[in-house]
């Protein structure tokens, strides 16, 4: 089922949780530039098991294991094009095998900052041309379309210039696909690169056709709530929220530091639904158990 059809038929929807967190729970070592794509390359059955755990938890939407899987990422470690193509086939096969016809499969597209593997998805500290952004994202989008994925989310995007490139330069090349955009914010509710969230809202509200679903991921619940006060929930787009557990990411050690609290997400659900949020899930530090709690809370709240 396609994303917009599912939203029309049934809302709110439950999104899956932290793939990397779930893989780590299963004993996988993700301390590399490939992150969860390390498992996709070396132990893909664990990817399937992680997707299945979110299906069993009641997720309506599953994201592919391609957040870090850009062609540039894989070519940098010496993989040939034919090997990269096989990894995309594996990623799609594993999610198809662990989903049902009632679920929506959405292609996960990490920002350029994720490729840098230095925590830039939480700072936005990088700059490319529109053409460079397009070339970076295009090969992965094309690979997923070829394998039957037609709904996509650009997620964890921290950089206003990359957002503008996505909306104005990349999405118009793909008129038959659906694109959702999810950004990261700081604890004040502003975009991670420092752009005022009000300015982002002023921009994105003009592009409902290009970006019918918009939201925030891998940010603290406090930051999400601040962004809601700054205009998020009055946008014309369908709103999707999937925060992280609240801890801070150390880009040097590639570890989450301090203690998060994923229960804060569950506690916020009634208020988010009152503000017409239509998709709720979790990002880093959230598990299938958290998604089950989100699923049950939504069912109690609607």
Residues comprising the binding site for Zn(2+)? 218, 283-284
Q: Is the peptide bond before 12 cis (omega within 30 degrees of 0)?
A: yes
Q: Which of 210, 238, 249 is nearest to 113 (CA)?
A: 249
User: Encoding tokens for residue 66?
Assistant: 């391609």
Whether the CB-CB separation of 297 and 271 falls below 8 Å is answered with no
- Other C-beta atoms closer than 10 Å to the C-beta of 100 total 8
**Strand locations in the chain (E):** 13-14, 61-63, 104-109, 151-157, 178-183, 213-217, 238-242, 248-250, 255-257, 279-280
Query: Strand pairing of 248-250 and 238-242?
Result: unpaired
Residue 116, C-beta contacts closer than 8 angstroms, at least 6 positions apart? 126
- Report the C-alpha gap between 72 and 207 in whole angstroms: 29
Report DSSP state, residue 151.
E
User: DSSP states of 81-137 as a string?
Assistant: HHHHHHHHHHHHHHHHHT--TTSEEEEEE--HHHHHTSSGGGT------HHHHHHHH
Annotated binding site: 218, 283-284
Positive or negative, the CA dihedral 46, 52, 54, 57 is: negative
- Report the C-alpha gap between 155 and 160 in whole angstroms: 13
């Amino acid at each position: 089922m396609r994303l917009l059809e599912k939203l029309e038929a049934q809302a709110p929807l439950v999104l899956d949780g932290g793939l990397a967190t779930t893989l780590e729970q299963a004993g996988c070592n993700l301390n590399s530039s490939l992150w969860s794509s390390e498992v996709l390359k070396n132990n893909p059955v664990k990817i399937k098991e992680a997707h299945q755990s979110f299906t069993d938890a009641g997720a309506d939407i599953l994201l592919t294991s391609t957040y870090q899987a850009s062609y540039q990422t894989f070519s940098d470690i010496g993989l040939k094009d034919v090997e990269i193509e096989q990894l995309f086939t594996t990623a799609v096969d594993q999610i198809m095998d662990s989903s049902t016809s009632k679920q929506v499969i959405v292609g996960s597209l990490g920002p350029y900052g994720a490729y840098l593997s230095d925590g830039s998805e939480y700072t936005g500290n990088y700059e490319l041309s529109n053409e460079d952004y397009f070339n970076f994202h295009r090969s992965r989008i094309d690979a997923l379309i070829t394998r039957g994925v037609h709904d996509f989310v650009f997620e964890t995007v921290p950089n206003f210039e990359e957002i503008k490139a996505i909306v104005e330069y990349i999405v118009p090349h793909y008129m038959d696909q659906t694109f959702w955009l999810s950004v990261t914010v700081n604890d004040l509710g502003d975009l991670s690169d420092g752009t005022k969230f009000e300015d982002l809202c002023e921009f994105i509200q003009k592009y409902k056709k290009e970006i019918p679903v918009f939201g925030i991921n891998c940010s603290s619940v406090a930051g999400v709530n601040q962004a809601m006060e700054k205009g998020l929930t009055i946008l014309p787009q369908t709103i999707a929220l999937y925060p992280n557990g609240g801890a801070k990411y150390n880009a040097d050690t590639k570890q989450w530091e301090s203690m998060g609290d994923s229960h804060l997400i569950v506690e916020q659900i009634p208020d988010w639904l009152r503000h017409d949020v239509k998709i709720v899930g979790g990002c880093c530090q959230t598990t299938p158990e958290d998604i089950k709690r989100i699923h049950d809370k939504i069912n109690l709240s609607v």
